[in-house]
Amino acid sequence: MTTLNITSSIHNYKSKVDLKVDSQGILSLEKINPKAWQEIIDKLVGWQWDIEQLDDEGVTPPSEGIVQIAIGLAERLDEEGYVAPSSVVPDGDGGVVFTHRNGDIIKKIHLWDDGSICLSEYESTSLIRRTNLSLI
């Protein structure tokens, strides 16, 4: 598997708006993600302050170190102008998942419990590509 510079790997996240054609053929601009990165970062900081909120039956919460990496990743993507994800959730196995939804296209940045990161791209629930990422 290839490890790529994260900046080039998630180039598509840079679009702040998406071109959309409706059934009458009218072209419009659609805001693809109204959520701000600050909302995502605030949620991660909330976990950092009280990681026990994620403790539950059958799941392993992310460690403080993983949450710290997730915050750093979010700040980096924000600084570089990428559109904020629709959601950030723990993966139940010590990792964190950022999900970006745009119609049938779903992109997930998965920060695993060992600190490694991958980008998965789905079309209509079919996983079409997965790329390992590194923070350079």
Partner 1 sequence: MGEEIDPIDIAEILYRRIPASQGWYDEATKVLNSAAFHPNRNDETGISIVRGKYKTPEQAAMGRSGKTYYLAVLKANELAERQINAVSRPDLPSGETDISHAELPGLNAGNRRSFEVAGMEEMLAQELTIEVLGPFVTPNKTS
50 binds partner 1, rule: CB under 8 A: no
> What is the rounded CA–CA span in Å between residue 46 and residue 34?
21
Nearer to partner 1, 7 or 92 (CB): 92
Residue 102 interacting with partner 1 (CB under 8 A): no
Based on CB atoms, which residue is closest to partner 1, 68 or 120? 120
Residue 67 binding partner 1, by CB under 8 A: no
Give the nearer residue to partner 1 in terms of CB position, either 61 or 83. Answer: 61
Of 101, 108, 117, the residue nearest 69 (C-alpha): 117
Burial bucket for residue 10 (CB in 10 Å: 0-12, 13-18, 19+)? buried
Nearest Cα residue to 96 out of 84, 122, 114: 114
**Residues in the site for partner 1, rule: CB under 8 A?**
53-60, 86-87, 89-94, 97, 99, 101, 106, 108, 112, 120, 122, 125-127, 130
